[in-house]
């Protein structure tokens, strides 16, 4: 009977050790898999630079960041210059056609205002009668000319300031 107890104890001990070894083997496989994932993530973080020194990688990132900041500042300066130039462009147009003389048949006379956002530019008027056409140009500063403006020219200037 004592032999049987010893034999059962030995078998139970062997079975318990086998189960424990199997559990440890599963844990080792899981940990090995996680280690491989971490290694792949680490290598992808280095982005193929070949350096295993994190400090060198951080220095390279800072240098690239400084270059990008300089390029961004340059682009912002260029954009500001372009916006400043666009404000001075004579891009606002106002056209007013009218009948200058009662005996003339239709609205063949005109006033055209070509100004920038600050109403600086020129107003051009063409007065048409039966025999000839007269064309006048008057400079504008802030929508005002040093020459007297006709009501039609004022209307063309007003129309040039209207946003479409």
Helices and strands in the chain, H and E counts: 3, 4
Cα distance between residue 28 and residue 22, in whole Å: 10
Rg (CA), the chain: 43
**HSE-up of residue 1 (Cα within 13 Å, Cβ side):** 0
Length in residues, the chain = 164
**Is 153 within 8 Å of 123 (Cβ atoms)?**
yes
Average pLDDT over residues 102-108: 72
Q: Could you tell me the pLDDT band of residue 27, with boundaries at 50, 70 and 90?
A: very high
pLDDT cut 90: percent of the chain above it: 34
**Is 94 within 8 Å of 107 (Cβ atoms)?**
no
Which residues are within 8 A (CB) of 143 and not within 5 positions of it... i.e. 6 or more apart? Answer: 115, 119, 157, 161
**Is 121 within 8 Å of 144 (Cβ atoms)?**
no
Q: In this predicted model, what pLDDT tens digit does every residue of 53-88 receive, in sequence order?
A: 777 778 888 999 999 999 999 999 999 998 888 777
> What pLDDT, on the 0 to 100 scale, is given for residue 45?
72
Evaluate the CA torsion angle 83, 88, 90, 96 in order and state its sign: positive
Domain regions of the chain by residue span = 2-69, 92-160
**HSE-up of residue 34 (Cα within 13 Å, Cβ side):** 6
């Amino acid at each position: 009977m004592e032999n049987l107890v010893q034999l059962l104890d030995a078998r139970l001990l062997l079975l318990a050790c086998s189960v424990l070894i199997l559990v440890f083997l599963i844990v080792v496989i899981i940990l090995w898999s996680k280690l491989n994932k971490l290694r792949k993530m680490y290598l992808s973080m280095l982005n193929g630079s070949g350096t295993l020194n994190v400090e060198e990688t951080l220095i390279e990132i800072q240098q690239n960041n400084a270059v990008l900041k300089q390029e961004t500042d340059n682009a912002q300066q260029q954009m500001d210059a372009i916006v400043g130039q666009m404000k001075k462009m004579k891009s606002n147009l106002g056209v007013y056609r009218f009948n200058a003389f009662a005996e003339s048949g239709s609205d063949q006379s005109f006033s055209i205002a070509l100004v920038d956002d600050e109403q600086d530019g020129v107003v051009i008027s063409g007065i048409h009668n039966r025999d000839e056409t007269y064309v006048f140009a008057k400079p504008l500063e802030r929508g005002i000319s040093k020459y007297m403006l006709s009501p039609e020219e004022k209307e063309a200037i007003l129309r040039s300031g209207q946003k479409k």
